[in-house]
Each structure stands twice: as C-alpha cells, then as structure tokens.
C-alpha cells in the first residue's frame, strides 16, 4: 500500500507499523485522542512509543508521511520495566469523519 492510498486510521497504523518494523520490533502505536473539527472532519493524535535508541530513525521514517502525519511533539518517559528509556512521539492527523472506524 502507498501512503497516498491510506483512507482510514486502521490503514495508517498498519502502514506506520511496517515503517517502524524496518528499524525496531519493540514499539507501541495507537490513537490517543480524537476531536471533531466540523461535520465532515476530525483530528486525531497518533502516539508512537519506541526505545530511545531507535527514536531518530523512527521519527525520520514517520516524518516522511508528512502531510498525512504532522509531528506534534516528543518526550522521554521514565524507563520501562526492563530499564529501557522510552521515547514518545505524537503526530496529528486529519480524516474525514466517514473514515472513522469503530474499534
């Protein structure tokens, strides 16, 4: 699938997972919030959590999806249960409300 053919959140997450898996297999990706913009559109925040060692390369991969994804911020969380530093990335994305899939 090509990025320009992505029409739903589910397709976007699957595409991002493929990009991340090229560099790191220990990650989480999910939509952390949604807000309605108007009767036809909504905005969502896509959160990606990766070990800090893979952060730069994963960020570059996901930034290649601009304008579909727009980088919002990043933060370093405390270490996980294994002692690995965790990096959070948040991206905003806009979709037509008709593409919102019930989970």
The pLDDT tens digits for 29-86 are: 998 888 888 877 788 888 898 888 888 899 999 988 888 888 888 888 767 777 777 7
Under the banding of pLDDT at 50, 70 and 90, the label for residue 8 is confident
Distance linking the first and last C-alpha atoms of the chain: 22
Helix axes 9-21, 55-63, angle to 10 degrees: 140
Mean pLDDT, to the nearest integer, of 77-99? 73
Residues 57 and 5 sit within 8 Å (Cβ to Cβ): no
pTM for the model: 0.79
Pairwise CA distance, residues 65 & 88, whole Å: 17
Q: Please tell me the total count of domains within the chain.
A: 1
- Domain range for residue 83? 3-99
CATH code assigned at 8: 3.30.70.60
Residues 6+ apart with CB under 8 A from 18: none
| Per-residue confidence (pLDDT) for residue 103, from 0 to 100 | 44
Nearest CA-CA partner of 15 in 37, 40, 38, 48: 48
């Amino acid at each position: 699938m090509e990025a320009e053919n992505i029409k739903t959140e589910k397709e976007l997450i699957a595409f991002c997972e493929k990009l991340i898996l090229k560099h790191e297999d220990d990650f989480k990706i999910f939509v952390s919030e949604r807000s309605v913009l108007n009767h036809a559109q909504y905005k969502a925040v896509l959160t990606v959590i990766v070990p800090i060692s893979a952060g730069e390369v994963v960020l570059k991969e996901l930034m290649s999806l601009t304008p579909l994804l727009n980088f919002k911020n990043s933060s370093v969380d405390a270490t996980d249960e294994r002692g690995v530093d965790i990096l959070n990335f948040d991206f905003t994305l806009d979709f037509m409300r008709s593409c919102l899939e019930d989970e």
